[in-house]
C-alpha cells in the first residue's frame, strides 16, 4: 500500500499490489477443458468430452466477477453416447439381456442348434462423425450350411473325413501315384453350401504338351529354375530374396495341369519386401502375451509374441461386469520393444452384461472405416 519517492523524481510502487483473482479449475467428469493462460478473471476456456461422450451445454465458459468473487459463467457436462438396441437375428439370439447400451459396450450372438453363425459374432457400440451411437457392423446370420461330400477320382482325403460337412469345415486331398493334382489341395465349406476353392481333380501325370514356361521373376529376389527352360508337370521352383528383404507369400510353386491340359504355375508369385520399416512403424517391436484377468479372458493366442498394432479384446465370464478399457493395443516403446497401450480391465461381480471398452479414437475410427 506504500509508494516511495525516488531520487529520480519518480514514484516507486509494487506492481503486484492488485492482481486478478483466479477461478478454480472446473470439474467436468468424462471431459476436460483447454486454456492457454492462467485461469484469472476474464479467461475463456473451451470444454471437450472424452471419446464416447458428448457435450451437453455451451462449449465455452468465462471467468467472471460477481459480489467480488470469481466463478465460471457456464459449466456443461459430458453425457455417455447411447446406441439403439442391437438388431435381432433369425434362428439365433444375442447376449444383450434387454439392457441399455452406451459407447464401448458389446453384444455377442449365438445360433440355435443346427445353425451355423456366418460373420463376426460380436459387435460394439461406437460413434460416427456426428457423435451418434452406432453399431460397429451388421449382426451375423444363422444359416443351415451343408456341403456335399467331396470326392476326388484317382485321389484320397488326407484330412476332413466324414459324411456331413458344415460351415468352415475343410478337407485336404492327395492324388494317387501317377496322377497330378489340378486345383487346390485344400477346400473349405462356405456359407453358400459350396466348396471354395472348387474340389480339385487328379489328372494322369503324363502330359507331354503340358509344359510351363520359365517361372515369373520377382523384384529383389530370384528362383532356382533354369532360365529359358520349359518345366514338366510336377517341377518345383523355390524363391528366395536378396539380403535386406523378406519373402511374402508361398516360397515355392510347382508346375501343374489345368483343365485344358496346359501347364500352369500353382500359386501366385511371392514378393520380396524391404526389411526397413516405413517411417513411424516398428515391426520388430513385439509385445509379450497380454495380462490375464480374474474371472475373464482375452482373445489373444497364449504363448505368442504380438506385433506392433495387434489388438486383443477382453470379456468377462457370466455374472461379472468388465470395468476399464476392454481393448488393448500393442504399441512401440522403441524400435525393439512393444508395450500394451493401457492397464488391463477388471471383471467385477454383480452384473451379467459384457462391457468391452474400445481403444479410444484410433480403434473407433478403424471400425468405422471397415
pLDDT digit string, tens, across residues 100-114: 899 989 999 999 999
**pLDDT tops 70 at residue 336:** no
Region 164-168: mean pLDDT is: 92
**Angstrom distance (rounded) from CA 363 to CA 103:** 13
- Would you state the pLDDT for residue 351? 38
**pLDDT over threshold 90, residue 79:** yes
Highest mean pLDDT among 119-128, 235-244, 305-314, 341-350: 119-128
Q: Contact 359/312 with Cβ under 8 angstroms?
A: no
Residue 363 confidence (pLDDT): 45
Model confidence at 243: pLDDT above 60: yes
Integer CA distances (angstroms), 28 to 25, 226, 296, in order:
9, 72, 32
The domains found in the chain, sorted by start residue, are 1-80 (2.10.70.10), 82-143 (2.10.70.10), 155-204 (2.10.70.10), 221-274 (2.10.70.10), 296-369 (2.10.70.10)
In this predicted model, which residue has the larger pLDDT, 358 or 165?
Answer: 165
Alpha-carbon distance values, 171 to 156, 193, 206, 311, 362 (Å): 10, 14, 26, 30, 39
Predicted local distance difference test score (pLDDT) of residue 204 = 85
List Cβ<8 Å contacts ≥24 apart for 358-363.
358/51, 358/52, 358/103, 358/104, 358/124, 358/126, 358/325, 358/326, 358/327, 359/311, 359/325, 359/327, 359/328, 359/329, 360/50, 360/51, 361/51, 362/329, 363/311, 363/327, 363/329
pLDDT score at 366? 45
The pLDDT value given to residue 29: 93
| Residues 6 or more apart whose Cβ sits within 8 Å of residue 302 | 289
Q: Which of 354 and 15 is assigned the larger pLDDT?
A: 15
Q: What sign has the CA pseudo-torsion 223, 227, 231, 235?
A: negative
Pairing relationship of beta strands 236-241 and 252-257 according to DSSP bridges: antiparallel
pLDDT score of 354: 37
Find out whether 102 and 83 touch, Cβ atoms under 8 Å. Answer: yes
Report yes or no: 203 and 257 within 8 Å, Cβ to Cβ. yes
Q: Is the pLDDT of residue 272 over 60?
A: yes
For residue 138, the model assigns a pLDDT of: 94
Supply the pTM of this predicted model: 0.47
Grid cell for residue 94:
444375442
pLDDT, residue 360, reads 45
What's the grid cell of residue 60? 465455452
How large is the average pLDDT for residues 20-38? 88
Mean pLDDT (the chain) is 83
Query: What are the start-end ranges of the E strands in 295-356?
Result: 296-298, 311-316, 320-323, 327-332, 338-340, 346-349
Q: What is the DSSP string of 198-217?
A: PP-EEEES--TT--B-SPPP
SS3 (DSSP) at 187: strand
Element (H, E) at 174: strand 170-175
Identify the band that residue 318 occupies on the pLDDT scale cut at 50, 70 and 90: confident
Amino acid at each position: 500500500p506504500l509508494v516511495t519517492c525516488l531520487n529520480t523524481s519518480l514514484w516507486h510502487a509494487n506492481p503486484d499490489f492488485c492482481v486478478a483473482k483466479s477461478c478454480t479449475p472446473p470439474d467436468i467428469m468424462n471431459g476436460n477443458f483447454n486454456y492457454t493462460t492462467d485461469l484469472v478473471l476474464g479467461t475463456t476456456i473451451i470444454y471437450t468430452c472424452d471419446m464416447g461422450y458428448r457435450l451437453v451445454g455451451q462449449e465455452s465458459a468465462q471467468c467472471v466477477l460477481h459480489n467480488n468473487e470469481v466463478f465460471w459463467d457456464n459449466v456443461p457436462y459430458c453425457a455417455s453416447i447411447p446406441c439403439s438396441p442391437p438388431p435381432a437375428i433369425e434362428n439365433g439370439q444375442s447376449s444383450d439381456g434387454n439392457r441399455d447400451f452406451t459407447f464401448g459396450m458389446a453384444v455377442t450372438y449365438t445360433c440355435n442348434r443346427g445353425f451355423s453363425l456366418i460373420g463376426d459374432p460380436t459387435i460394439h457400440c461406437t460413434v460416427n462423425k456426428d457423435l451418434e451411437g452406432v453399431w460397429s457392423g451388421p449382426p451375423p446370420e444363422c444359416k443351415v450350411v451343408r456341403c456335399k461330400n467331396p470326392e476326388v477320382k484317382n485321389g484320397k482325403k488326407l484330412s476332413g473325413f466324414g459324411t456331413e460337412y458344415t460351415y468352415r469345415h475343410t478337407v485336404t486331398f492327395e492324388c494317387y501315384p501317377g496322377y497330378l493334382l489340378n486345383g487346390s489341395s485344400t477346400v473349405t465349406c462356405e456359407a453358400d453350401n459350396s466348396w471354395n476353392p472348387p474340389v480339385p481333380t487328379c489328372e494322369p501325370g503324363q502330359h507331354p504338351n503340358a509344359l510351363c514356361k520359365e517361372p515369373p521373376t520377382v523384384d529383389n529376389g530370384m528362383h532356382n529354375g533354369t532360365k529359358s527352360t520349359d518345366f514338366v508337370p510336377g517341377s518345383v521352383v523355390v524363391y528366395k530374396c536378396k539380403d535386406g528383404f523378406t519373402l511374402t507369400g508361398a516360397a515355392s510353386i510347382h508346375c501343374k495341369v489345368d483343365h485344358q491340359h496346359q501347364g500352369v504355375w500353382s500359386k501366385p508369385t511371392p514378393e520380396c519386401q524391404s526389411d526397413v520399416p516405413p517411417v513411424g512403424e516398428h515391426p520388430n517391436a513385439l509385445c509379450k502375451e497380454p495380462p490375464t484377468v480374474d474371472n475373464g479372458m482375452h482373445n489373444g493366442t497364449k504363448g505368442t509374441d504380438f506385433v506392433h498394432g495387434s489388438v486383443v479384446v477382453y470379456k468377462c465370464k457370466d455374472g461379472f461386469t468388465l470395468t476399464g478399457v476392454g481393448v488393448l493395443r500393442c504399441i512401440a516403446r522403441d524400435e525393439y520393444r512393444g508395450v500394451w497401450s493401457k492397464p488391463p480391465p477388471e471383471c467385477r461381480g454383480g452384473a451379467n452384461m459384457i462391457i468391452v471398452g474400445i481403444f479410444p479414437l484410433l480403434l473407433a475410427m478403424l471400425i468405422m472405416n471397415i
